[in-house]
A and B are shown apart, each in its own frame.
Chain A
Amino acid sequence: MKITGIKSFTLFIIGFCFTLNTYSQEPDTLLASKLFELSLEDLMDVEIVSAVRQNQNIIDAPSIVSVITANQIKERGYISIDEALNSIAGLDFITDHSQPNMGIRGINGGVRSYSRLVKIMIDGQNISFRSNADNYLGLSLIPIEAIDKIEIIRGPNSALYGKNAFLGVINIITKKGSSLNANAVSHFLGNTNQNTSFGLSTIIGGAKKNFDFLFASTYAQFDYSNLKPQNIPGQSIYSSDDVSKKNESNPTSVYIKMNYETEDWGKFTFDMVNQNVNSHAEFADWGALTHNNRISLFNSFERLQYSKMLLEKLSADFTFAHSFGKPVNNEIFDDDTDPSEWIEREIKYNSYDVNGNFSYFFDDINIVSLGIDFTSDIHDHQKFYSMNTSGIRNLNPGGTDGEKYFTNFGVFLQMILNPAKFFDLSFLEDLTLTGGYRYDIHNIYGNVFTYRLAAVYHLNNELSTKLMYGTSFNAPSSTQLYTNYISPGGFVGNPDLKPEKAKTLEWAIIGKLSNNINFNTNLFYTEIEDKIEYLLPYGQVSNITAGNISNIYSGGIEAEINFSQKNKTCYLNYAYQKSILEKNDPILQKIKVNTALYPSHMIKFGNTLHFPDYYLNLNLEARYISSRIASDQNNFIYDPINYATNRYKLDPYFVIDLMISSTDLEIIKNSKSRIILKIENLLDYKYYYPGFNNYDIPSLRRSVYFQFKHYI
């Protein structure tokens, strides 16, 4: 079945909504009302913390914020963060079936980038693998059952969060043990692209007196075998026999959190995350279909937090965290199919973060905050070694050795000001201003000043408009600076890299159109200087090198609408982005071309229906992603002369996921259970993600998962 174009998507939505109206004639019930109320809460009246590090209503937050709540995760059957984020306007994912790589607002980090354009945090703690600043958004990030909500901020936030809060911030807020209705065990069995997959998750938690405890874990195995890469147009490197084999992925994650809180002593929190990324990377850029790659990384943090109201209007919180990451022993890189020779990697980091934040509350709106933080990263920079069965272990050439100790001292100041209250200017009662400034001093890339200014204006009780401007930066990682190569001609670091810098102007309107419809729409314009990319530098013929190669200008619109009525809730969002990359081409000189890897149009739709009389819920989600320009690396092959301007595109795609789940059933006496059937890519649509080495990466075909969740 071949479906292309926005028209198909529009027809689908119209058709589906017609069906919904039929369902909505069903008599309402108490249970349905309860579910409906929960959904309404999800829709708009959500408190968020990430925009200003203070609790705020989403309408008041001086940022473009979307929220995915635990209830939505449950209703929609998401099993990993990337699945959940893929429902958000303006976010696009490509994958090599090892890890998802998220782009945002017209820009993707490109090759060797796993979602490094945004800062991912768990309750405010950076969770990237710091050696390369990658964020592993698959199942290994955190057990999804532990999530209370995911706050997604599009736009720069370095003024608050420092480096790498570049084009966005995603803060995962975890549940409290006391918020769990019951401990739960869930497992799934599935058919992923005609291969068996399975997984097991647990969540245990509770509270006693002042002590709160949460434990969650996830393990899964997916098999992405039998996937055929797509040749670049005009090429025939891969035949129909070339398929991925034993392309397994075994992500694991464990999350533990403990709180102790009293009025006198304040609140102590200890939490920790262990992640294990473990996947055969059959579509790795250094060697596709070698049947011998395995990326296996351990990443973790442990953190102790203390917070207290020091005075009636003065709060303080302090954090000490240790993060650690390194490969696990079974990691192998291979650029060919000869098993007698392979490559191993050494890489490790130990990081220590200390920070303290103080906030003074003049009243419930006017707040001034001061924060100081210090980070020390101790890196064993990435080194690749060539190995063979004879016992030879040679350090590969390329790259340079650099400073092992990365230290950063940052200080920020933020003021949230309502002039009406603060200066008694009543005619400005609907206006709130936010200003944030931050100064970072780093021993490798120097000093960076960032800031953010925002004005939020209440047009009426249910409608506000926001005008925001901010700057941000993305620091070069240890790997980008110093790595040697996997194989001759491969990627090497560049110790002269500068941070990528961005400035963004945003204008948003958010509010309710009626009691059951709300919307959130914004226009944005971003300029990025010194974008880092891995490309072969002109004039050299040896290795691909990380470089500050281009500037990017990106503008667009993101609009989302949420609707809830009786026993159904749905969302529809649309994102249009026009993203232009400006660079110096040796022949043409300064040129501006559309950025690669990112669609211009994205339409995402979801609908959840509740059938309480039948103990059933149904969730259907659909995504239309328009065509994307293939990677620069592939376009070098497609047109080796005019690659800067003559580039091929990957076809648009349209995917529908369907989930049917039971309500909580008493299958076993005195306990509740839930049964879920999820079908991903219901139409079995064949599409491709941009690849980076003479092929494009096939999507998964129709996959079916059966999940059983048991509340103990």
Chain B
Amino acid sequence: MSKLKRYKIFVFIIGFVVFMSSCEKLTEDFNKKQYKNPVKIAVVGDVSMLREQVENMFFGAQLAMEEINQKGGLVINGEKREIELIFKNSGGNPELGVDLIYELYEQNINLIIGPTFSSVAVEMAEECVKNNMLMMSYAATTPEITLLDDNDLIWRTCPSDYTFGTISAEYCVDTLQLNNAAILFRNDRFGTGLSTIIKDMFTELGGNVKANVSFPNEVNLNTYDFEYEMSTIFNSEIDVLFIVAFNSEIAVLTHRIFNNSKYQSLNKKPYIFVNDGILPEEILTNGNPELIDDILGISSTNEGNPNYALYKNNYKSRFGFLPATYSEHAYDAVYCLAYAMLKGNTTNPLQIKQYLREISGVDDYDPNNDVIKINVNEFDVGKNILLKGRSINYEGASGPINFDINGDPFPKIVIWSFENNQYIELTHFEK
């Protein structure tokens, strides 16, 4: 090595410099944003169980936060404040959800958007009420929340299962003239609640529920022995089988139903009516193709809602993909809280709750009709109006919110089906 001439060493140095100069990209960068004087809102989702679905709801909330902050954020007591969302996982487990409430309380975060599951939401709601924290779910549809003694601290931007269950039963009995039904539901708060509504309404309308069977919610459905459930359901001829399940479970259920010998032996195959939250594309992609023509479903719809179309465009521009169901409800939850904070000039949940109906367009609060309609992504307009002491009616991505006395909205609802392997909408219901 010592025999090397100087110019050869120079070659080394040049080579080394050229090499190192090209390596500037080799550092981690999490691109974490710093918020100015933030108002912290926890966004809670059951991502351990339905990550792929739930994180789309997070993205909806994120979009709302970014739009609000880009337009100057909140002004509370004359002070500019940005919204910072703290994403948390309640794990599909009520105990974890309650622990989360304690954790957030310790961190002085008392505004919560979420959680996803009804079973978690009810337990969390009770703790929120005890601790004067305001909770607004975007996906927990259980009717238990509607009837909760909640000191007006528990809200939601998604419709109640009471609405879905009632309409599902009415459509089957009144429109399709189906008289004999069975129900297969997941054995949790959500499944029990919705199946009870369907059963009660179906019976009340003159129908006959021949079987009402649950399946365990913490088993691998691929390996679970459905013999008891299937035998009970298909023991006699039925016109419709209501399934109350998660989107992630529906594909396996369709395969298990189709491969069941008792189902195969039925003379007339029943309709299969799936609950809100089950996505048509999941059935088309992963469900048993032999059953597709017999499937009906229910969901809230944004068809004809220009605010949803705008939200969809904004969402696509920001994230690069289309929003999934319920993300619009999370988006609206952020806006509702932001407008209520502006309206009340407060971040205190006990005061914010008093303004949520005012900003969401309930007629009672507007005797003189002196309100201005605020659409999606018009935060700067809405903020200016509210800062001048006037009223707004926020019409969200999911449509008019119109919180009722129980803190529930009422959206437009659709009954859907498939024709030639294509999604079709059969009929709509509005308030």
Contact = CB atoms under 8 A, between A and B. Distances in A.
Contacts of A489: 248, 251, 286
A392 B22 CA distance: 58
A465 B15 CA distance: 10
A341 B258 CA distance: 13
Interface in A610-668: 636-637, 640-642, 644-645
A50 interface: no
Given A459-B8, A580-B25, A338 B223 contact: yes
B25 A460 contact: no
A588 B30 contact: yes
A233 interface: no
Nearest to B65: A587
B320 interface: yes
A599 to B, nearest CB: 16
Interface residues of B, number: 60
A586 interface: yes
B105 interface: no
Contacts of A591: 29-31
A525 B23 contact: yes
A383 B281 CA distance: 21
B102 interface: no
A451 to B, nearest CB: 17
A640 B48 contact: yes
A272 B18 CA distance: 45
A335 B22 CA distance: 46
B88 A336 contact: no
Contacts of A463: 1
A539 B15 contact: no
A505 B24 CA distance: 14
Interface in B1-47: 1, 3-4, 8, 11-12, 15-16, 18-19, 22-23, 25-32, 45, 47
A398 B286 contact: yes
A592 B32 CA distance: 11
Contacts of A525: 19, 22-23
B58 A587 contact: yes
B123 to A, nearest CB: 20
A539 B53 CA distance: 8
Given A388-B259, A591-B30, A541 B25 contact: no
A457 interface: yes
Interface in A317-351: 335-338, 341
Contacts of A582: 25
Interface in B210-266: 220, 222-223, 247-248, 251-252, 255, 259, 261
A641 B52 CA distance: 11
A465 B222 contact: no
B324 interface: yes
Contacts of A588: 30-32
B56 A539 contact: yes
Contacts of A487: 222
A430 to B, nearest CB: 9
B59 interface: yes
B87 A536 contact: no
A592 B47 contact: no
Interface residues of A, number: 62
A488 B252 contact: yes
A593 interface: yes
B99 interface: no
B321 A538 contact: yes
A594 B25 CA distance: 11
Contacts of A341: 259
A553 B25 contact: yes
A507 B286 contact: no
Interface string A561-584: 000000000000000001110101
Contacts of B29: 591-592
A589 interface: yes
B319 interface: yes
Interface string A519-556: 00001010100000000111111110000000001110
Contacts of B399: none
Contacts of A543: 285-286
Contacts of B32: 588
A536 B52 contact: yes
B289 A523 contact: no
B285 to A, nearest CB: 4
Nearest to A398: B285
Contacts of B363: none
Interface in A447-487: 457, 459-460, 463, 465, 467, 485, 487
B89 A641 contact: yes
Nearest to A581: B28
Interface centre among B1, B26, B87 (most CB of A within 10 A): B26
B149 interface: no
Contacts of B47: 640-641
Contacts of A209: none
A338 B259 CA distance: 14
A541 B88 contact: no
A590 interface: yes
B26 A555 contact: yes
B324 A507 contact: no
A505 B15 CA distance: 11
9 contacts: A335-B222, A394-B289, A489-B248, A489-B286, A539-B323, A555-B26, A587-B62, A641-B88, A642-B87
Interface of B: 1, 3-4, 8, 11-12, 15-16, 18-19, 22-23, 25-32, 45, 47-48, 51-53, 55-56, 58-59, 62, 87-89, 220, 222-223, 247-248, 251-252, 255, 259, 261, 279, 281-282, 284-290, 319-324
